[in-house]
Amino acid sequence: MAGNWKMYKTPAEGKTFVRSLAQRIGTVEHAVVVVAPPFTGLSAAVDAALGTSVSVAAQNVFWDEQGAFTGEISPPMLTSLGVRWVIIGHSERRLLFGETDQGVARKVRAALDHGLLPILCVGETEEEREAGLTEERLASQVSKGLADVRPDEAQLLTLAYEPVWAIGTGKTATPEIAQEAISFVRGRVAAALDPEAAQVIRILYGGSVKPDNIGELMVQADIDGALVGGASLDVESFAAIVEYPR
């Protein structure tokens, strides 16, 4: 269960949030709980998360280790803070900041090379869904995003299927639509890597996940967890998602 805070929360707010969340959820055995603060809040969040069931993700990373790349943050910079996870290719990065599938693949490779666990986001836009292009788009994002990954690395990888039309809109994909798309994504992982990798890889659903819809999403056969935006900004609602009815 991963919470993407996007461009919200100061370091102090993030620290308070992680402390409260950790206290609220206690020891969690059925799920891995991850929060993704902005870069400026990573260090405070890692400190607050030490010794708890919460771990910390960055929302982006660059592929080189160092160099003249103004404004970028490298994998070793993240690992040196104690960050374990990184979200790569979120639709906001792709649509607002021009990230390409090729860049996403380089970031996934760089993350793995430095011991960061990538959460690779894929998903179709509303126009693509209406034009019947959902599968084509997902197939292309999966095969290109995983272009430099080996099958034996599947256990280190998490995919997140996030239909762009469901992000921050309050329009959740129905559990059936989410299941159908995630099952398709799993099939494309089998093609890109191998069938065993497709079973091992974790695939999350993201898009307006809330405490009242997480249960019906999690019973779907291929949904292993959720990537949560808005509802991860509040301790009570994110805790309720982590503790979804099982």
Catalytic residue positions, numbered: 90, 162
Q: Which two tokens stand for residue 218?
A: 């999690």
Q: Which two tokens stand for residue 74?
A: 């490298």
CA–CA dist 135, 245 (Å, integer): 31
Contacts with ligand PEP, 2-41, as mask; x by CB under 6 A = --x-------------------------------------
Q: Is the dihedral of CA 110, 112, 117, 122 positive or negative?
A: positive
Does residue number 227 form part of the binding site for ligand PEP (CB under 6 A)? yes
Q: Residue from 228, 240, 241, 242 that binds ligand PEP (CB under 6 A)?
A: 228
Q: How many residues touch ligand PEP (CB under 6 A)? A: 13
Does residue number 178 form part of the binding site for ligand PEP (CB under 6 A)? no
Question: Cβ of residue 209: shortest distance to ligand PEP, in angstroms?
Answer: 5
SS3 call for 124: coil
Q: Residue from 162, 211, 217, 225 that binds ligand PEP (CB under 6 A)?
A: 162
SS3 call for 110: helix
Question: Cβ of residue 207: shortest distance to ligand PEP, in angstroms?
Answer: 5
Q: Which residues of 115-143 are buried (b: 16+ CB within 10 A; e: fewer)?
A: ebbbbbbbbbbeebbeeeebbebbbebbb
Q: Which two tokens stand for residue 198?
A: 């497709």
Residues 6+ apart with CB under 8 A from 8: 38, 233
Contacts to ligand PEP from residues 192-221, by CB under 6 A:
206-209
Nearer to ligand PEP, 14 or 206 (CB): 206
Question: Cβ of residue 190: shortest distance to ligand PEP, in angstroms?
Answer: 25
Q: Residue from 230, 235, 242, 244 that binds ligand PEP (CB under 6 A)?
A: 230
Nearer to ligand PEP, 197 or 227 (CB): 227
Q: Where are the alpha helices (DSSP H) in the chain?
A: 11-25, 42-49, 75-79, 91-97, 101-113, 126-130, 134-145, 175-192, 195-200, 214-218, 235-242
Question: Cβ of residue 121: shortest distance to ligand PEP, in angstroms?
Answer: 7
Does residue number 182 form part of the binding site for ligand PEP (CB under 6 A)? no
Name which of 224, 96, 93 is nearest 161 in CA terms.
224
Question: Cβ of residue 230: shortest distance to ligand PEP, in angstroms?
Answer: 3
Q: Which stretch binds ligand PEP (CB under 6 A): 76-84, 136-144, 212-220, 228-236?
A: 228-236
Query: Which residues in this chain contact ligand PEP in the complex, by CB under 6 A?
Result: 4, 162, 167-168, 206-209, 227-231
